[in-house]
Structure 1
Amino acid sequence: MLWEDKAILLSILLVYSSPQTLAAGEKLDDVQCAEINNTRWHEYRQNMGKLEVQYLLLTRKNPDCAQRFDQDYVGNTTSYFNTSRPTKVIVHGYRALGRKPSWVTDLAQALLRAQDANVVVVDWIYGASFAYNLVVQNYKEVALQISVLINQLQKHGCKLESFHFIGISLGAHVAGFVGTLFEGRIGRITGLDPAGPMFKDADVFDRLDPTDALFVEAIHTDSDYFGISIPVGHVDFFLNGGMDQAGCVRSRFASMFLLFPVYGYVICDHMRALHVYMSALNGTCPLMGIPCSSYEDFLQGSCLDCGVFKGRCPVIGLKENSGIATSPIPEKQKVFLLTTSSSPFCAHHILLRLEVSPLDKRAEVEVTLLTGNEETEHRFRLQTDVTVYQKVLAHPAALCEISSIRLKNTGARLYRQGDIHIKSVCVSELPQPRHEEPLCVNHIDIRRGVPWSHDFVQVCGTL
């Protein structure tokens, strides 16, 4: 095995080592709350070779105290499960030995705040611990066991289209195989940064793909490391290109010290999909994606609208088909969006367009957009053979809230252009609404080192 392969395997063994909380609170009412299994070493040895899949039920009647739920409890009059409500099924992924998924309760409660539903947590900790390559061998068996429970629920009146699976990392492929077993009749699957190692080159039968449910979506945040880099759903949201997430720590010495990529890179990027999804469920602000062939084209402003979806851009959350109105739903549509470094992660996509007169020498222009006390800055490196430049930026406020724009010729070296004539600088918001005109300033001369600014007088809704 190559050193890089060993490093990846070891990283996977360590990846989820953050402080833990229970899947359900430790409080006791009349009955003790059900808990996710633990896998300390002595327990793992006792259960070696056993999957020991169990299910925990959370509803609005017991959001803090999970109820044990399996085939014997289906139809039980003491169960909080309601067949008339939709059912959310949470499937965790790989777990390091001795670690429980700390986010289960948070995700379940976010789902319950957004919708009155049954939330079923699939606990396959025993099968999901130890070496990653061995864990991957278990995921289809887990899916088979889940399918038995789904069959039982169907007998009690649940419809397949009422099931929404939310799979995290390897759990996304577990959900996908459940969908395969039911021939794609499951209502919806959401893959949160679906696992990439051992799945990128796998057959569609063996990984999540659009045929696994009536609607499949995926959120990609770590596609260069633990997540998968290819589209696997009807709609695939690539946040910040699907790789390096805003606010996640990186180090040039990461390859020398293994713990740096584990804590500062892998956990932050890989788990960002989960945190963004939970934030979207809270409904603070829309997280909207724009279809484009590549992240580079998106950043260069080559993709301005959502025409492929009849003008309705897909959004992360619980909207039916992510808000897409087209029928049939296109498959493997890449959509891109920029996010901020912290919750609620929403940003406005601002297209900055700069047109300059031909230059004799290279130059550099710094453009700053200001809204109140917040600002967004970008530097254009100007070439002698290019006159038009575009860039999509993440700005904290909408176009109508931008109060001013500031330009500065930052070329300080002698070989840089002295004076620059800017034919126009325009600011618009994506996706471009038909009724909203871009903010433009024309014919500006800026000297080296001398800042120039312009104030916009506008009020949102009265442009």
Structure 2
Amino acid sequence: MAWKWIKAIVYLSVCVTSAVGDDEEASPSKCADFNNTTWLEYRQATKLQVQYLLLTRKNANCASLFTQDCLNHTQKHTAYFNSSLPTKVIVHGYRALGSKPSWVSGLAQALLREEDVNVLVVDWVYGASFAYNLVVENYKEVAVQISVLINQLTKYGSTLESFHFIGVSLGAHVSGFVGTLFHGKLGRITGLDPAGPMFKSADPFDRLDSSDALFVEAIHTDSDYFGISIPVGHVDFFLNGGMDQAGCARSRFASMYGYVICDHMRALHVYMSALNGSCPLIGFPCSGYEEFLAGKCITCDDAFNGTCPQIGLLKNSGITATPLPNQEKVYLLTTASGPYCAHHILVELNVSRLDKTAEVQLILKSIGHPETELKLKLYTDDTRYKTVAAHPEQLCKIDSMQLINTGGRFYRQGDINFEYICISEIPQTRGMDPLCVKNIHIGRGVPWSHDFVQVC
């Protein structure tokens, strides 16, 4: 119940230590790191252990430790924290093996390259390393302890609006409950594949939802296993439909990482790629993934006033519409490997009526990049087709297009006549017309190709 957590805040706020200093110079003897308490020591402890690591542009390569000690009332200060700057709070999730998350440094460095901010890393590894159901029982207590620190920092000049929580998996729900404790006044929460088990059917009070901050976004990459399948923010990015990610192994003989958590952790790696600015990763509002792939959702006019939301640090993900949407599902495609950047190519076909169903393979080529292959099935009762594909290069850098009439599996497919094939990039860029080829005739198993002469 809510009163229980409010009571805990009052108690803990009495003994939280100050995490900022004014004139004191920080001179750490060594860099701070995640807690190295052994599992047995933690089991014998009387309270949940949570500590905070601080990284700024002044100590980007050597974390400083924030501490709170309720028993001895000791204080440790750091001069690195600047209350006039925004603060990014990174919250990891469930750690099945009790190991520290290896990705934290990379995410922190990417944030610091993009903005001059305070980066606070929440270390609750040993509270996150038991059986999953037991960890879920403790996540609210972690949120309470974080809220105590945030409350203390506001007394030193920080504002609630200046805090941006980035929560991975279960850490997304920890972040959401911190937002609940502050009545949704935190500036922003980014959930990176928020955990699904034990949360999909939970009350919004008990999980991340759009009321937890002024702006809440989520990136979904494993909604059929470890991630949550329902929208939980103002805008929810479903990458490749939110489930099977390109490049993640599905074979039973794949590595444990590739088979178990590749999809789940892809949200984090795509987010880091977006921070590094490799290319814009934008989403398109649509009622479902199949409709998106069918080319039925190629603009952002209705939901977002023409500006598509973008993964990264743009204010409100670049959304300019007011009021903000709620639980708006947007879809985008990515490539199989970093930097995961994909340009969305709309392929439109007009086929002369067929006597039998046909199968064709369409290949888009850009020099120096992997080919984009599409397998299309053509039916006797339809002549027009649309599909959306992910290509590593923009439209003006597509060098050639190839078609192969692969034919039916159990019968010999005849020739196919395409009245036209057009490819265009979405959202459409002003001045960039579709690339179209007309009157194409291909026989079974005979490749047809066309070269484009384009200059970006």
Please say whether Structure 1 and Structure 2 have the same fold, judged by a TM-score greater than 0.5: yes
Where structure 1 has 5 or more consecutive residues not aligned to the other structure, the ranges are 1-27, 255-259
Structure 1 position 403, deviation (Å) = 1.8
Residue 324 (structure 1) aligned to one of 319, 322, 340: 319
CA separation of 1:394/1:360 partners in 2, compared to 1, >3 Å: closer, same or farther?
Answer: same
Q: What does the per-residue CA deviation read over 1:298-328, in whole Å, with 9 as the maximum and x for residues that have no partner?
A: 1111101111211111111111111111111
CA separation of 1:75/1:311 partners in 2, compared to 1, >3 Å: closer, same or farther?
Answer: farther
Structure 1 position 92, deviation (Å) = 0.8
Contact 1:362 1:416 in 2 (8 A): no
Q: Give 1:134's aligned residue.
A: 134
Q: Give 1:355's aligned residue.
A: 350
Q: Give 2:212's aligned residue.
A: 212
Q: Give 1:94's aligned residue.
A: 94
Q: Give secondary structure in 2 for the equivalent of 1:178.
A: helix
Distance in 2 (CA, whole Å) between partners of 1:237 and 1:338 is: 10
The yes-or-no answer on 1:300 pairing with 2:298 is no
Distance in 2 (CA, whole Å) between partners of 1:455 and 1:286 is: 27
Structure 1 position 455, deviation (Å) = 1.9
Distance in 1 (CA, whole Å) between partners of 2:263 and 2:37 is: 25
With 209-218 and 120-129 compared, the bigger mean Cα shift is at: 120-129
Distance in 1 (CA, whole Å) between partners of 2:129 and 2:446 is: 60
CA separation of 1:213/1:30 partners in 2, compared to 1, >3 Å: closer, same or farther?
Answer: closer
Q: What does the per-residue CA deviation read over 1:374-430, in whole Å, with 9 as the maximum and x for residues that have no partner?
A: 421212111111211221111111111112211221216673431111111110111
Structure 1 position 373, deviation (Å) = 4.3
Q: Give 1:11's aligned residue.
A: none
Q: Give 1:282's aligned residue.
A: 276
CA separation of 1:429/1:328 partners in 2, compared to 1, >3 Å: closer, same or farther?
Answer: same
Contact 1:39 1:98 in 2 (8 A): no
With 268-277 and 378-387 compared, the bigger mean Cα shift is at: 378-387
Structure 1 position 74, deviation (Å) = 12
Distance in 1 (CA, whole Å) between partners of 2:408 and 2:286 is: 36
Distance in 1 (CA, whole Å) between partners of 2:375 and 2:43 is: 57
Q: Give 2:333's aligned residue.
A: 338
The yes-or-no answer on 1:382 pairing with 2:386 is no
Distance in 2 (CA, whole Å) between partners of 1:40 and 1:262 is: 25
Q: Give 1:433's aligned residue.
A: 429
2:341 partner letter? C
Within 5 A, what are the aligned runs for 1:44-443? 44-47=42-45, 50-71=47-68, 78-251=78-251, 253=252, 262-307=256-301, 308-374=303-369, 375-411=371-407, 415-443=411-439
Q: What does the per-residue CA deviation read over 1:223-247, in whole Å, with 9 as the maximum and x for residues that have no partner?
A: 1110001110111111111111111
Where structure 2 has 5 or more consecutive residues not aligned to the other structure, the ranges are 1-25
Q: What does the per-residue CA deviation read over 1:321-377, in whole Å, with 9 as the maximum and x for residues that have no partner?
A: 111111111011111111112211101111111111111112112211122244212
With 155-164 and 124-133 compared, the bigger mean Cα shift is at: 124-133
CA separation of 1:159/1:373 partners in 2, compared to 1, >3 Å: closer, same or farther?
Answer: closer
Structure 1 position 39, deviation (Å) = 5.2
Q: Give 2:33's aligned residue.
A: 35
Distance in 2 (CA, whole Å) between partners of 1:75 and 1:162 is: 24
Distance in 2 (CA, whole Å) between partners of 1:276 and 1:414 is: 41
Q: What does the per-residue CA deviation read over 1:30-56, in whole Å, with 9 as the maximum and x for residues that have no partner?
A: 512222113543223323x62111111
Q: Give secondary structure in 2 for the equivalent of 1:297.
A: helix
Contact 1:226 1:266 in 2 (8 A): no
Contact 1:40 1:97 in 2 (8 A): no
CA separation of 1:126/1:346 partners in 2, compared to 1, >3 Å: closer, same or farther?
Answer: same
Percentage of matched positions with identical amino acids: 70
Distance in 1 (CA, whole Å) between partners of 2:355 and 2:54 is: 69
Distance in 1 (CA, whole Å) between partners of 2:154 and 2:403 is: 63
Distance in 1 (CA, whole Å) between partners of 2:410 and 2:93 is: 56
Distance in 2 (CA, whole Å) between partners of 1:99 and 1:296 is: 38
Distance in 2 (CA, whole Å) between partners of 1:313 and 1:456 is: 28
Distance in 1 (CA, whole Å) between partners of 2:74 and 2:210 is: 30
With 218-227 and 34-43 compared, the bigger mean Cα shift is at: 34-43
Structure 1 position 177, deviation (Å) = 0.5
How many residue pairs are counted as aligned between the two chains? Answer: 426
Distance in 2 (CA, whole Å) between partners of 1:149 and 1:318 is: 24
CA separation of 1:221/1:97 partners in 2, compared to 1, >3 Å: closer, same or farther?
Answer: same
With 29-38 and 85-94 compared, the bigger mean Cα shift is at: 29-38
CA separation of 1:100/1:76 partners in 2, compared to 1, >3 Å: closer, same or farther?
Answer: closer
1:66 partner letter? A
TM-score normalised by structure 1 residue count: 0.88
Contact 1:70 1:149 in 2 (8 A): no
CA separation of 1:107/1:449 partners in 2, compared to 1, >3 Å: closer, same or farther?
Answer: same
RMSD: 2.1
Structure 1 position 125, deviation (Å) = 1.8
1:390 partner letter? K
